Structure 1
Amino acid sequence: MTLGDSRAKLDDLVHSPVRFTIMAALSTVDDATYQVLKEELAVSYALLSKHAAILEEHELIEIKKSFLGKKPQTVFRLTRKGRKAFKEHVTALEEILKGLV
């Protein structure tokens, strides 16, 4: 397999730094709140919302909104499709990192 073959396996939807980081964070947990992701990723509410909406639109994450007492709470989780897409993207990156072996 060539580096070009591996590059072709990269998922443009996942490849964005913010979306990749969202998916990486969610790949290690069952779910995470909006506030936790915002703080861990060190992004604005607007940027997190924009990229999360793109991932949700493509069914890579699920966003659930509810209330905790009187406070709204938003929780994110990777879907099965999202976990698969993230794993395939990481595998392609690992293949590229091998270089000209």
Structure 2
Amino acid sequence: MTRNAPRPAFDEVIHAPHRLRICVMLAAVDSMDFAAIRDELAVADSVLSKQLKVLADAGYVQLIKQRGTGRVKTWVKLTKPGQQALAGHLAELQRLAELAAVR
């Protein structure tokens, strides 16, 4: 592990398939519209809302409400703790994959 490499740490909050995909999508952008995430995951609003609540309660995402013409638009942003948790989780998955490959 290099000095700047994330510490491998399995994170059960992130590990759930939808939440892992949400975090990975958000890691590549500054923020993402709720509807775009929903469409990418191909889930109902209620399913996405539940997954985002778990991530927000853990401090991994921030939900930003923006009033527009008639509707409130929700933007989702991966927080610094969320970025660190995702990096650690991905490092742990990589570590486990390398262990499994050794035979």
- Report TM bin, short chain: 0.7 to 0.9
Using the size of structure 1 for normalisation, the TM-score is 0.88
1:11 maps onto 2:7 in alignment? no
Alignment map for 1:8-87 (pairs within 5 Å): 9-87=9-87
User: How many Å apart are 1:100 and its aligned residue?
Assistant: 4.8
Shift of residue 10 of structure 1?
A: 1.1
Corresponding residue for 1:4? none
Q: Return structure 1 stretches of 4+ with deviation > 6 angstroms.
A: none
- Between the aligned partners of 1:11 and 1:78, the Cα distance in structure 2 is 15
Identical residues among aligned pairs (%): 27
Amino acid in the other structure paired with 1:74: T
Between the aligned partners of 2:43 and 2:51, the Cα distance in structure 1 is: 11
2:97 equivalent to 1:94 = no
Amino acid at match of 2:29: V
Instruction: Give, in angstroms, the shift of residue 14 of structure 1.
Output: 0.6
In 2, the alpha carbon distance for the partners of 1:33 and 1:100 equals 38
- Give unmatched runs, 5+ long, in structure 2: 1-7
TM-score by length of 2: 0.86
- The number of residues matched between the two structures is 94
CA distance in 2, matches of 1:35, 1:29: 15
How far has the Cα of 1:9 moved from its partner? 2.7
